[in-house]
């Protein structure tokens, strides 16, 4: 009888330990998920703010819509696409932007290799009318990282989008020619 009582007491103690361990693991799991959820929500709110206050770049078929910040430094490219300083203006010259194709950084252009000739790309201005510049894709190519000629002015109105290839050894270059601009 004493042995049976001891076994029951020991089993109850083990169950309590398991219950406490389970509760601790559950609380830790909820805490971890909360941190990631908070980061995700914070990033989305920050992205919305950037979209409201900056030029936007869109490729509707690829479901890409990102803000374009001035410059291509690492801080800008962590959260958006960046406009190469010294290249064209909206609707004029060769307006060049870059963005990451990476799961480590912002995953802005991960699907850029799915672009097709004839796809529509838009730049949306920050003016009061939110003027939309429509560019039609005319070219897709890969180049070596040192081939900076793609940033040159070609005496037309174009949009050049640049991103790394998946392995990071080359650059994807998408060119679109301005078709029209309008205010919605």
94's tokens: 């060769």
Task: For the chain, give the mean pLDDT.
Answer: 88
Each residue's pLDDT tens digit, 79-133: 899 999 999 999 999 999 999 887 666 678 989 999 999 999 999 999 999 999 9
Each residue's pLDDT tens digit, 66-77: 999 999 988 888
Task: Write down the pTM of the prediction.
Answer: 0.79
- For the domain bounded by 55-182, which CATH number is listed? 2.40.260.10
Name the band, by pLDDT with cuts 50, 70 and 90, for residue 154.
very high
10's tokens: 């020991």
3-state secondary structure of 121: strand
The pLDDT score that the predictor gives to residue 41 is 84
Report the alpha-carbon distance of residue 66 to residue 95 in Å, rounded: 16
Q: Hey, CA dihedral for 144, 145, 147, 150, is it positive or negative?
A: positive
Task: State residue 50 phi and psi, 5-degree precision.
Answer: -65, -40
Reply yes or no on whether the pLDDT at 7 is more than 70.
no
CA dihedral 182, 138, 116, 64 (to 10 degrees): -40
Task: State residue 107 phi and psi, 5-degree precision.
Answer: -90, 50
């Amino acid at each position: 009888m004493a042995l049976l009582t001891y076994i029951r007491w020991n089993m109850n103690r083990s169950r309590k330990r398991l219950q406490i361990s389970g509760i601790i693991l559950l609380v830790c799991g909820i805490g971890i998920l909360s941190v990631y959820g908070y980061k995700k929500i914070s990033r989305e709110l920050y992205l919305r703010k950037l979209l409201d206050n900056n030029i936007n770049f869109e490729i509707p078929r690829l479901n890409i819509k990102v803000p374009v910040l001035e410059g291509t430094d690492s801080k800008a490219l962590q959260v958006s696409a960046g406009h190469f300083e010294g290249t064209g203006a909206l609707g004029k010259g060769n307006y060049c932007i870059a963005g990451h194709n990476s799961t480590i950084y912002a995953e802005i252009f991960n699907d850029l290799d799915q672009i097709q000739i004839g796809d529509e790309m838009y730049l949306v201005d920050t003016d009061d009318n939110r003027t939309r510049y429509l560019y039609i894709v005319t070219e897709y190519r890969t180049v070596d990282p040192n081939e900076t000629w793609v940033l040159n002015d070609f005496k037309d109105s174009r949009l050049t989008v640049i991103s790394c290839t998946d392995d990071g050894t080359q650059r994807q270059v998408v060119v679109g020619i301005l078709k029209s601009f309008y205010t919605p």
